Amino acid sequence: MSQSSDFNAFLTDKVNLNQTRLNLLSQRVTAIENCLTSDEVFGEYVTELIPQGSFGHGTIIKPVGNKDFDADVLVPMDEVPGWVAKDYVQKLYEVFGRSMTYKTMRSRKKRCVTIDYAGDFHIDVVPFVTRYGSTYVTNRNTDEYELAAPDDFTEWFEEKNRITNGNLVKAVRLLKYLRDHKRRYTIPSVTLTAALAHHVSETAKIVDPGAYKNVANTLRTLSEEFAAHIANYPTSAPCIKDPGTGRDLTDRWEDHNYRTFRTRFTSYAGAIIDACEETDYSKAVEIWRDLFGPDFGTVTESASLTAAISKALTPASERFLDRDFNIPEVINPAYRVKTVGYVVPRKGFRDGPLPKRGDRVGKHRSLKFKIEGSNIPEPYDVYWKIRNYGAEAEQADSLRGDIHRDDGSRMWTERTSYIGHHYVEAMIVRNGVCVAKSRQDVIVI
């Protein structure tokens, strides 16, 4: 047994990186981007930075104790004539050396330059080079191009997160928290993230419609399946593929660390199952507390305040199909539809689907939203809903929530104006009933 309010409060108060620090991170990334694009040498080749890793996936969590956290950003660029692999990191390092701001904050690693904001976080800036139609990171030590597709990983993970109604991201955060606070096993974050996402499927929803109903159910579904999978591998980790390159993400996970992880994780998965199956709420909370600590199940003042503020911010302008258009909602689970947002290209900037960018995009960009992958029989109508969140949108009285009937193009356009986590949703109406919906998140940084 579980209550969504318990998980929401725990995530808000203990697990999630708070919005103030996320906003500061976004500001720092923008400042680094401005430094690179205005540089006399590098500016010719760089137009923007793209979040990757836990930053791009939305799975960053609060660091333990006084430790700082890290964020990775890609520097997309085409191969520069005359440069070899080792030059990219070196020349990036030199750019920061020309800046009075970053000169004393920079350090070189094999594949990136790190900018260290002492005592808070550091940002790894990674050259991401397109050559001969493929993408690479560059190794300064070996002078080699290394095949990489972090944007493909991000797109794949975003699709898996959609299947779970956004609960995959929360499950990954919780299991990273469990790893960091229990400190009884080690597993690289990217390996854990991929392992859980590989066990997300539409089939699971057919077999058990409640598989991803909420955070607790998603935790149970994924933990149970992953534990069952590793039960067949007692000594060495099974292959966990990078969906972009096909590389085995366990190749640097030492066998003794894997075996410790296997034992501990199997035990934790059993506890998660027990908590979900326990019918007595107070007993279930005790099991969750054994896993996550004594703060679980206690709705703190800050979490309550956050929930109250969130509720209060439902704008008067928000519209709903049933209430305002007299269109009832009866979702048909056999129907599939997907809304995908695309960044409209402008001079010097890259376009492409939002999912490849972790749904993240800067301000003042134009977006197009399209209906893709629909199996719904014609004829049907499409209604578009646009909803903004965050302090900037609130202050501008632009939280919106408006709904528009499609003009037949099956496309909608918007422009990013406010920092925050927004969405555009397509609602499919057939025979006067909403039978399917698909939401594209838009995270403006």
What is the reported pLDDT for 180?
93
Q: What are the pLDDT tens digits along the chain (445 aa)?
A: 667 889 999 999 999 998 888 889 999 999 999 999 999 989 999 988 999 999 999 999 999 877 889 999 999 999 999 999 999 999 999 999 999 999 999 999 999 999 999 878 999 999 999 999 999 999 999 999 999 999 999 999 999 999 999 999 999 999 999 999 888 889 999 999 999 999 999 999 989 999 999 999 999 999 999 999 999 999 999 999 999 999 999 998 999 999 999 999 999 999 999 999 999 999 999 999 999 999 998 755 455 445 444 544 689 999 999 999 999 999 998 999 999 999 987 665 556 899 999 999 989 999 999 999 899 999 999 999 999 999 999 999 999 999 999 999 999 999 999 999 999 999 999 999 999 999 999 999 8
- CB 385, CB 425: distance < 8 Å: yes
Name the pairing type of β-strands 121-131 and 69-78.
parallel
Helix (H) / strand (E) containing 248 = none
What is the reported pLDDT for 349?
56
Buried-state track 300-309, b at ≥16 Cβ within 10 A, e below 16: eeebeebeee
What span, in angstroms and rounded, lies between the C-alpha atoms of 313 and 324? 19
**Spatial CA neighbour of 148 closest among 158, 138, 157:** 138
Distances (CA, A) of 328 to 181, 412, 433, 435: 46, 23, 5, 9
Residue type, position 292, single letter: F
- CB 444, CB 399: distance < 8 Å: no
**All residues at 6 or more sequence positions from 229 whose CB lies less than 8 Å from its CB, including other chains:** 199, 238
What is the reported pLDDT for 5?
86
- CB 173, CB 10: distance < 8 Å: no
- CB 445, CB 29: distance < 8 Å: yes
Entry pTM: 0.89
Helix (H) / strand (E) containing 440 = strand 433-444
What is the reported pLDDT for 287?
96
What is the reported pLDDT for 347?
60
- CB 71, CB 123: distance < 8 Å: yes
Residue type, position 406, single letter: D
What is the reported pLDDT for 119?
79
For the four alpha carbons of 384, 385, 391 and 394, in that order, the dihedral sign comes to positive
What is the reported pLDDT for 308?
45
Q: Is 251 helix (H, G, I), strand (E, B) or coil?
A: coil
